[in-house]
Structure formats: structure tokens, C-alpha cells
Amino acid sequence: MRVWVNGQVVDADVPSVRALDHGVTVGDGAFETCKIVNGEAFALTRHFRRLGRTLSGLGLPAVDDAVIREGIQEVLAIGDPIAFGRVRITVTGGAGPLGSDRNDSPATVIVAATSSAPHEPSAAVVTVPWVRNERGATAGLKTTSYAENVIAVTHARSRGAEEALMANTRGELCEGTASNVFVVTDGVLRTPPLESGCLAGITRELAIEWCRAAGLEVVEEALPFDVLDSADEVMISNSSRDVQGVHAVDDRRLAAPGPVTTKVIDVWRAAESSLGIDP
């Protein structure tokens, strides 16, 4: 693990954030996770854009992208190049009181990078009873307030799955704890719209753009949560998975990756290869 905090490379095991940092006490912060390919962070421009949207939505000041790029460059320059992994950018409200009020404090900026193994071609997922609030103050924002995701993914792991899928308060399919979700019905690739309360995933965004450019029909529409009981194919996406087939939803088995999922993966790989590290 390679870590940079507020302009300095630090030992990952040494305390380097204040005990009363608002990110620690109340989860007041934003983050982004980018995959690393051959020592470089993927799609940084898009991640910076979304980070800015989250900070604005939280009422926190923007952070200069150049500062974060410096941190990324420093952690990626340590040791041997990371062939595949992820870099996480975290920005918190800085020093704060014990409660929810904020101090006029500079942000805390953290960059951490680590190698990881690529995901398997398909995954098992479970549905959970907890829902996303599409009308909540942080709906669609990538914040550090992740406790409900921890609960849901722990539930999934206890049942032999690696991701949990959630509905929103209207009973519509929304997203996973750390992924967007696509389904295939009637041969058409479908995914919940951003109005469902799901995160505007970078991989989701690119997959939609690239698939449409390749002539595949992609529909963003409200979907009932029980579409997972009948969809011909299900796939999940995020920055480390890219697009991944789903071979089980709860006790329901699916062939994965299915034909449409395979097409999406092929489109992704071709576009990524031709467009480079910052599409």
C-alpha cells in the first residue's frame, strides 16, 4: 500500500490524519477509485469531474486537480510499476468539531494506491432488503459515508456472493454497493437511470457511450426490482471490474457471461485499447 497525505508520502501504518478530521468523525468527505493499468491511472479526467460534483453536492470547496495529480504521480512512482490495481482519492472536510457542524478548515487530501488481482469473468450477487433513498441529500454522490454499503456487502459475503444489489424507495432496481447494474431483456441492454438514485459510475458512463457508438441498443429506464427474477442476463460494472457478468442472483443461476454481456465486454476492450488511458 502506497499512501500520500496532504503533500507527503507517508507510511500506511503510521497515523497521518487528525483524530478530529471530519471524515473520521462524521464521514464528511468524497472519494474516487480509479483502476491502475501498467502503472497509470485510468480515466482520471472523468473521475476528477465526478469528484468535483460530489464536493459541490456536499458543500465542500473544490480541490485543485493538479494537487491530486501530484499525489497520484508520487504514489505510482514508488517501487515497481503496478501492473493492475487501484488508486483511491479521498477528500474530507478537514479538522472539525465532534458534531455535524464544520470548521473553516483546509481539506484533507489522501491518495492511496495498491496492486490487486483482476476480477473473475462472472460474479454471484444477492438482493438485500435495504434500499437507496433516491431523494436523499447525498443521492448520486460518491461520499465516504459508506456504513450501509459495509452492512450490505457483509451480508452478501456471508451468503457466498461478492456484491449486493439494492432497490430504491420506489421499488425500482437501483445499484450495487460498489457497482452499477445492467440487465438484458428482449435482447436489449437496460440500466437504471441516474434519477433512480444510483451513482453516475464512470464505467457505466463509458460502457453506455461505447456500446451506443458500436451500434448496441442501450436503454436507461426505470426497472422494477423483480426484473432480476426474469432478466436473461445481468451484469455489474465499476472501475476495477470493468463490465462483469453475473452467474447467480440469490438462488437463481444464469449463464454468464451471456451473449450480450460478451458483446459489451468486447466493445469495452476494443474501445479501451484504442482510446487510451484517459478516454
Q: State the pLDDT confidence band at 62, using cuts at 50, 70 and 90.
A: very high
Please enumerate in sequence order all residues whose Cβ is within 8 A of that of 102, keeping only pairs 6 or more positions apart, or say none.
22, 28, 93, 96
Give the β-pairing of 173-176 and 180-185: unpaired
Q: Is the dihedral of CA 10, 13, 17, 23 positive or negative?
A: positive
pLDDT at residue number 268: 98
pTM over 0.85: yes
Q: State the pLDDT confidence band at 265, using cuts at 50, 70 and 90.
A: very high
Domain 122-275: CATH superfamily is D-amino Acid Aminotransferase, subunit A, domain 2 (3.20.10.10)
pLDDT at residue number 180: 98
Per the document, the length of the chain is 279
pLDDT at residue number 171: 98
Q: State the pLDDT confidence band at 72, using cuts at 50, 70 and 90.
A: very high
- Is 2-115 in CATH node 3.40.50.2020? no
Terminal CA-CA length for the chain: 26
Task: Provide the CA 208 distance to its chain's centre, in angstroms.
Answer: 16
Beta bridge partners of 9: 4
Q: Do residues 34 and 50 make contact, with C-beta atoms less than 8 angstroms apart?
A: no
Give the β-pairing of 122-132 and 163-168: parallel
pLDDT at residue number 266: 98
Cell triple for 191: 440500466
Enclosing H/E stretch for 131: strand 122-132
Looking up cell 483511491, which residue turns up? 88
pLDDT at residue number 252: 98
Residue 228, amino acid: L
Report the candidate in 115, 123, 197, 104 with the shortest Cα–Cα distance to residue 163.
Answer: 123
Q: Where are the domains of the chain?
A: 2-115, 122-275
Q: What number of other Cβ atoms are within 10 A of residue 11's Cβ?
A: 10
Please enumerate in sequence order all residues whose Cβ is within 8 A of that of 120, keeping only pairs 6 or more positions apart, or say none.
244
Q: State the pLDDT confidence band at 254, using cuts at 50, 70 and 90.
A: very high
Secondary structure of residue 231 in the 3-state scheme: coil
